[in-house]
């Protein structure tokens, strides 16, 4: 029998039951949300950051799933790129997450809450030292 945490899908009972762990749904949500254009990354915990430093991707980071009476509720914590429309990117994330979870697991999400933690500015190229001091050398000669 499945644990209380796991989700049991209504399928053909003649063949048996289908059980999905919540971690699987969190990974699906994390990948779907991070693939939206304008998303810089997902907010993670110290453990997920260490995992990424060791070379493994932590796809479930920044995703929190709650199984409540009216259905599954998802909270997504993310960083967005500077210059994007925050409401548009957030709505795109909501649509993509609902669509992917429904397609891959046949589970309809009740709520998808997007929390924008920060906006990350684009990195500017550092000027070369030769370019900075090029005019000063001409004046000194």
DSSP three-state, residue 96: helix
Separation between Cα atoms, residue 40 and residue 124, nearest integer Å: 16
pLDDT confidence of residue 2: 44
Distances (CA, A) of 39 to 7, 17, 24, 62, 95: 29, 36, 21, 12, 14
pLDDT in tens, 111-122: 999 999 999 987
pLDDT in tens, 78-107: 999 999 999 999 999 999 999 999 999 999
Separation between Cα atoms, residue 96 and residue 16, nearest integer Å: 30
Regions in the chain scoring below 50 on pLDDT:
1-3, 46-50, 52
Q: 37: closest CA among 105, 83, 100, 106?
A: 83
Separation between Cα atoms, residue 74 and residue 114, nearest integer Å: 8
DSSP three-state, residue 101: helix
Q: 106: closest CA among 72, 60, 58, 66?
A: 72
Q: Which tokens is 35 given? A: 């693939």
pLDDT confidence of residue 119: 92
Separation between Cα atoms, residue 132 and residue 141, nearest integer Å: 17
pLDDT confidence of residue 66: 92
Q: 77: closest CA among 122, 112, 102, 51?
A: 112
């Amino acid at each position: 029998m499945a644990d209380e945490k796991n989700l049991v899908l209504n399928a053909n009972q003649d063949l048996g039951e289908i059980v999905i762990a919540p971690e699987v749904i969190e990974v699906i949500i994390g990948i779907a949300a991070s693939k939206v254009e304008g998303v810089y990354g997902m907010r993670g915990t110290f453990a997920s950051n260490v995992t990424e430093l060791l070379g493994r991707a932590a796809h479930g980071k920044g995703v929190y799933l709650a199984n409540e009476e009216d259905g599954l509720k998802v909270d997504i914590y993310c960083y967005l790129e500077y210059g994007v429309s925050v409401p548009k990117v957030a709505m795109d994330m909501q649509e993509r997450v609902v669509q992917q979870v429904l397609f891959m697991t046949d589970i309809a999400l009740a709520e998808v809450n997007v929390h924008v933690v920060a906006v990350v500015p684009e990195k500017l190229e550092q000027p070369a030292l030769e370019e900075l001091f090029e005019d000063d050398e001409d004046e000194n000669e």
